[in-house]
Amino acid sequence: MATIGALLRETQLPDSSSARLDVELLLAAALGKPRSYLRTWPEKLVSREVLARFQADLERRRQGEPVAYILGQQGFWSLDLEVSPDTLIPRPDTEVLVETALALPLADEARVLDLGTGTGAIALALAHERPRWQVLGVDRIPAAVELARRNAERLRLGTVRFVESHWFSALEGQRFALIVSNPPYIAGSDRHLDEGDVRFEPRSALVAGADGLDDIRDLIMAAPAHLQPDGWLWLEHGFEQAAAVRELLERQGFRAVESRRDLGGHDRISGGRWSC
């Protein structure tokens, strides 16, 4: 029987920036322990059952499956979220959207909408930080809506709601002080769709037409009918799309249009304020 320390030393995954972390996460999950346990008890023997699960999960990772899908969870903001192949995996770069929303001059009980909520990551982070906000998350995939609801229940965030809606289709007559979204924004011909973790994520949550802007165009055109006077719209986009998104916002009549950078220094989100 192998020890924890031996498994950490001897286990190899294809070279990547996260290979060592991936091994630690998978072994800790197989043991049912936090990562800190691995270094605290390196001499502990690993049972056959734990080793079998660890090796099975390693093989899934070697085939390219994201660790988040293997473990069924992913951290975002200060929250641990359940994830599934029905949704995108929440990424740290999206946290700039949360930071920007929290810094806006909104009322204490502002109505906030998260379009294409997926796991509920953005909506849940906002509800966690602003419990008096009335946060609504929508998604057109029923399984995603159910997943977001489970996350809200587990995190005890009862002020946020999730409903099934294809963008604004089920929201007739409703208006919000803030609309946020991480919509599909990858061009259909982008070679990265066949590389890395993205291969396992739902294409419907990634691809938006020939230039990746189809959904963003639709959201910018439709959002004014669902914004309160002086309401805000902020959208995540590709790092090379900022100028195009700002132009779309300005052309639609939004003011105070600007972009914000992600952790890598790329323009990752753009938004503006609606002028009635």
Q: How many CB atoms lie within 10 A of CB 171?
A: 18
- Same-domain pairing of 103 and 235: yes
In a domain, 134, yes or no: yes
- Which whole-number Å values give the CA distances from 81 to 106, 130, 172, in the listed order? 26, 18, 30
- pTM over the 0.85 mark: yes
- Same-domain pairing of 57 and 114: no
- Same-domain pairing of 182 and 136: yes
- Same-domain pairing of 138 and 207: yes
In a domain, 270, yes or no: yes
- Same-domain pairing of 103 and 222: yes
Cα 70 to the center of its chain, rounded Å: 17
* Max Cα distance, the chain (Å): 70
In a domain, 146, yes or no: yes
pLDDT band at 199 (very low <50, low <70, confident <90, very high): low
| The pLDDT value given to residue 195 | 59
Count structural domains, the chain. Answer: 2
| The pLDDT value given to residue 193 | 54
Query: Residue 251: which H helix or E strand, with range?
Result: helix 242-252
Q: For the ranges 126-130, 195-199, 252-256, which has the lowest average pLDDT?
A: 195-199
pLDDT band at 253 (very low <50, low <70, confident <90, very high): very high
Q: What mean pLDDT, rounded, does the chain reach?
A: 90
- CA atoms of 210 and 217, how far apart (whole Å): 13
- Same-domain pairing of 17 and 102: no
In a domain, 251, yes or no: yes
- Same-domain pairing of 252 and 120: yes
- Same-domain pairing of 22 and 114: no
In a domain, 79, yes or no: no
Domain ranges, residue 20:
4-63
Residues 113-169: pLDDT tens digits? 999 999 999 999 999 999 999 999 999 999 999 999 999 999 999 999 999 999 999
- CA atoms of 28 and 37, how far apart (whole Å): 8
- Same-domain pairing of 22 and 55: yes
- Looking up residue 187, the CATH number of its domain turns out to be 3.40.50.150
Per-residue pLDDT at 189 exceeds 60: no
Per-residue pLDDT at 196 exceeds 90: no
**Looking at this protein, which amino acid is placed at residue 52?**
A
